[in-house]
Amino acid sequence: MENQVVNQAPARKLNTKRGLLKLILLSIITFGIYPLVAMSGVSSDINIVASKYDGKKTMHYCLLFFIFSWLTFGIAPIVWIHRISNRIGNEAARRGIAYSFSAADFWLWGVIGSIIIVGPFIFYHKLFKCMNLVNADYNQKG
């Protein structure tokens, strides 16, 4: 029998149902705890999906939120979201997913877009959509 590399679907399926409306509603119901859960899932999922290809490991969001955010006076979360945005966008491009996402979206929508109030919401919508597409591709191809 010849040695063949076969793409198999992973044993554990990753979440493909993240969304902005869910984030907003569950944030209200859980008094702000759900965003920690959602972003923790994003940080864990990108490590599962991309680490074997890019050799990087993203810090877990809870570690960032509870320890490094206040130690660095809020600078670490900015650097973290910049890096994870690029990493998610790079993984989408590597997988051939036709969706543009990068750190530019964070700076344009998340930071500058906050002037028009809806900018950060657009950023999180784009982040979740790209992560859902990457996870769906991973669930199918591994």
Contact indicator for 41, 15 with CB cutoff of 8 Å: yes
Q: Which residues of the chain have pLDDT under 50?
A: 1
CA 73 centroid distance within chain: 23
Mean pLDDT of the chain: 92
| pLDDT at residue 117 in the model | 95
Tokens of 116: 């028009």
- Show the CA angle centred on residue 7, arms to residues 87 and 129, nearest 5°: 35
| pLDDT at residue 3 in the model | 53
| pLDDT at residue 30 in the model | 97
